Amino acid sequence: MTRPSAGAAGPTLARRTTACAVLALAVALGGCGLFGERKGDFPPVEFAAPQGSVDYEVELVGSPRDEATSALQESLSLYRRQDDGAPSVAILRRRAEQDVEATKKILRSFGYYRPEVTVEVEQLPDDPAAPKDPNEGKGRASYTFAELFGSSSDEETPAEETAEEEEAPRQNAIARVIIDPGPAFRLTRHEFVVIGEPSRRRRLDLMTPEQAGSPVGRRADAGEILDAESKALAALLNNGRPWAKLQGRRAIADMEAGTIEIETSIAPGPYAEYGEIEVSGTQDVVPQHIRGYRDFRHGRPVDRRDLRAYQSDLMQTELFDSVVVKVPDEPPADPQGDAVPILVDVVEGPRNTATAGLRFNTDSGPEVRGGYTQRNLLGRGERIDLTGVLGASEQSLTLEGRKPQFIRRRQTLTGLAQVRNIEDNAYDETGATLSAGIEREQGRYWTYGAGGLVEYSRINDQFYTEDVVLFGVPAFVRYDGSNDLLNPTEGIRAGVYATPYHAFRDRGDSQFLRAETIVSGYLPIDDEHRYVLASRGRLGSIFAEKLNDVPLTKRLYSGGGGSVRGYGDQMIGPLDANNDPTGGRSVAELSLEARARVYGDFGVVAFVDAGSVSTAVAPDFSDGVQYAAGLGGRYYSPVGPIRFDLAFPLNGRKVDDAFGFYFSIGQAY
């Protein structure tokens, strides 16, 4: 940076008031929380506050900007303690006076460095015709010592000192904060000053303040100045400068001209490229498996974003309780070129987990589930899940296996073996399935895969019994942009699933293609995600010449706790002579939920579901659309939301139940 000579700068600086410390503090406060607790602060002393005897309103007069108004309303004690009232008018007045300096700090953070702030407290008589206290406003009144002088931690007095005030009639008052912001200071110059000696062999790509978004030539907004500094620093950290640091800033203000100049010192540190990955903390996991999750090449500039993504990928394996990925804390004292090691420190989690669960609905009755998981079978993240189901309508045992990083990064080999016995409304089945496939992640949100399966079923539907052997080639594409697996409150999930089948049957061989699309979305109403609108849609078709070409186990059904609540499992759609569902070649479903956390970890849900099943390939709604509505409760436990739903058919048929009750872990969708 080129600096003016001492002789040239002298007359200008002579007219200026240097306010480095004050203005630097104001700038620093602007974008990083004005009154938040800092690490190392002593916790505030807490007293049992007496019930306030003065209700008051706050008037903010003269605020220069909406952003400043919002900051004042969030930060000033007058606003934060308004619901509690004040023990007396005197204490309310002192509370307002204590907010004067805080108001000035907030205004300085928005570029107003010469504000004038005054406060007024006006007591309102309960009866407009009643005379005011003769001592009010004359400086003569009887106050306790604590009312006049208070404590440095807070202004409230112990309960015994305010007994009379608690018994006195409640009063009303107005507290006014009157602001004359003065002129908005203009940022005339902002420069980034390089500290230290960056490598001469590598170009230093440092943003200019203007490129970083600094408000040069405009109002000196502290938030924008801090954002520009952070953006310039991030560009260095993400481009081969992992030890870059902000070293402080120097501010010079011309109080007469209403201008300010800022110099920000940045130490870029040495240039660094990716070297070898050094793993520590492993016990059972093979270090090479951890290295296989890297998504950056040796010799590329170190990028902080790469390290965060690498750490996140390792945590998602569920092999570790903690993972830290970083470069050494200090640059190498004797560097060998530009390559630096990437340090990975892990703490392994438990390899074995046992689970148990309970489900109940009025149609299929109670169901107990148990599971066992082994997460690191051979030391490279191999996972097996054994799940057993024991219920009135289903008994099954399923073994699933996953081999991550199969042949290439982000690719997983999957396998499944299952035996089952099902007694459902549509059919009874005794069967077994074997399948294998490959899944591949594409970016953060997408997963796609394909595989093969063979399935045997003995099916009984009261009219006949047949043996069916199915060969299929399932394929899918999934998108998951939601923010939580068991309790999503934001984002979209979508999946497209298609499987061509060849069926060897006692009634004659057949071929068909089954395809489904399922989409769900979550929209938070408030910033805390306590109120959420959720929706789900399902559309499916089976491409076959006729319905009888499709075995009962592969037809499309609707109804029950996972689709249209209030109706029996699979009961929506065409029925046979015994009022059992026949299934169809197409299905359409739509559900809407309004979810609300009402108290702590407890919440309520209101929902509407609709569904239709048709024998045609495309939904034609010839068999009608069934509707249901209901209410539910949620307990948001550490293992996921526990769901209680009570649903009622809105246009139920004679065969349908009057209501359905459902209990399980996890949201309905």
Q: Which of 245, 240, 247 has its CA nearest to residue 201?
A: 240
- What order do you get walking across the sheet with 259-267 strand by strand? 186-194, 259-267, 245-254
- Domain of 487, CATH number, reads 2.40.160.50
Whether residues 226 and 253 fall in one domain? yes
pTM for the model = 0.72
What whole-number distance in Å separates Cα of residue 277 and Cα of residue 432?
Answer: 45
What whole-number distance in Å separates Cα of residue 598 and Cα of residue 221?
Answer: 39
Note the pLDDT tens digit of each residue in 273-330.
999 999 999 999 999 999 999 989 888 999 999 999 999 999 999 999 999 999 999 8
Please give the torsion angle defined by the CA atoms of residues 252, 254, 260 and 262, in that order, rounded to the nearest 10 degrees. -20
Whether residues 509 and 644 fall in one domain? yes
Beta-carbon contacts of residue 278 (< 8 Å; ≥ 6 apart): 341, 342, 343, 344
Q: Considering 287, 318, 348, which residue would you say is the last residue of a domain?
A: 348
* Domain assignment present for 659: yes
The DSSP code for 333 is S
> Which two three-digit tokens encode residue 91?
């204490």
Instruction: Check pLDDT > 60 for residue 560.
Output: yes
Whether residues 113 and 256 fall in one domain? no
Pairing of strands 602-614, 626-637: antiparallel
Maximum C-alpha span of the chain: 107
What whole-number distance in Å separates Cα of residue 341 and Cα of residue 658?
Answer: 67
Whether residues 512 and 591 fall in one domain? yes
* Domain assignment present for 417: no
What whole-number distance in Å separates Cα of residue 295 and Cα of residue 668?
Answer: 36
* Domain assignment present for 575: yes
Whether residues 260 and 174 fall in one domain? no
- Which residue bears the tokens 């497209």? 496
Report how many domains make up the chain: 4
Q: Give CA separation, 66 vs 60, 69, 71, 119, 588, in Å.
A: 11, 5, 9, 20, 48
Buried b (16+ CB within 10 A) or exposed e, 32-44: eebeeeeeeeeee
Whether residues 582 and 656 fall in one domain? yes
What domain range includes position 301?
Answer: 273-348
Q: Considering 267, 284, 308, which residue would you say is the last residue of a domain?
A: 267
* Domain assignment present for 9: no
Note the pLDDT tens digit of each residue in 607-621.
999 999 999 999 988
Q: Give CA separation, 516 vs 220, 373, 513, 618, 621, in Å.
A: 56, 30, 10, 12, 17
Please give the torsion angle defined by the CA atoms of residues 496, 497, 498 and 504, in that order, rounded to the nearest 10 degrees. -160
pLDDT at 331: 87
**pLDDT-above-90 percentage for the chain:** 69
* Domain assignment present for 138: no
> Which two three-digit tokens encode residue 432?
């077994």
- Pairwise pLDDT comparison (219 vs 135), residue with the higher score: 219
* Domain assignment present for 117: yes
pLDDT at 133: 47
* Domain assignment present for 545: yes
What whole-number distance in Å separates Cα of residue 225 and Cα of residue 229?
Answer: 6
Whether residues 514 and 555 fall in one domain? yes
Q: Which of 621, 601, 618 has its CA nearest to residue 610?
A: 621
Q: In the predicted model, what is the mean pLDDT of residues 501-514?
A: 93
pLDDT at 198: 62
Whether residues 320 and 216 fall in one domain? no
Whether residues 544 and 615 fall in one domain? yes
Whether residues 335 and 191 fall in one domain? no
Q: For the chain, what is the mean pLDDT? A: 85
pLDDT at 359: 86
Q: Considering 267, 282, 313, which residue would you say is the last residue of a domain?
A: 267
pLDDT at 578: 87
Whether residues 337 and 251 fall in one domain? no
Coil/strand/helix, residue 387? strand
- Domain of 298, CATH number, reads 3.10.20.310
Note the pLDDT tens digit of each residue in 149-204.
344 344 444 443 344 444 556 789 999 999 999 999 999 999 999 988 666 567 78
Element (H, E) at 107: helix 89-109
The DSSP code for 650 is S
Contact 221, 110 (CB under 8 A): yes
pLDDT at 380: 94
Note the pLDDT tens digit of each residue in 360-417.
888 778 899 999 999 999 999 999 999 999 998 899 999 999 999 999 989 999 999 9
Whether residues 279 and 206 fall in one domain? no
Buried b (16+ CB within 10 A) or exposed e, 467-479: ebebebebbbbbb
* Domain assignment present for 549: yes
Q: In the predicted model, what is the mean pLDDT of residues 347-365?
A: 89
Q: Where are the alpha helices (DSSP H) in 138-277?
A: 145-149, 163-167, 222-237
Buried b (16+ CB within 10 A) or exposed e, 398-425: bebbbbbbbeeebebbbebebebebebb
- Pairwise pLDDT comparison (158 vs 470), residue with the higher score: 470
pLDDT at 260: 93
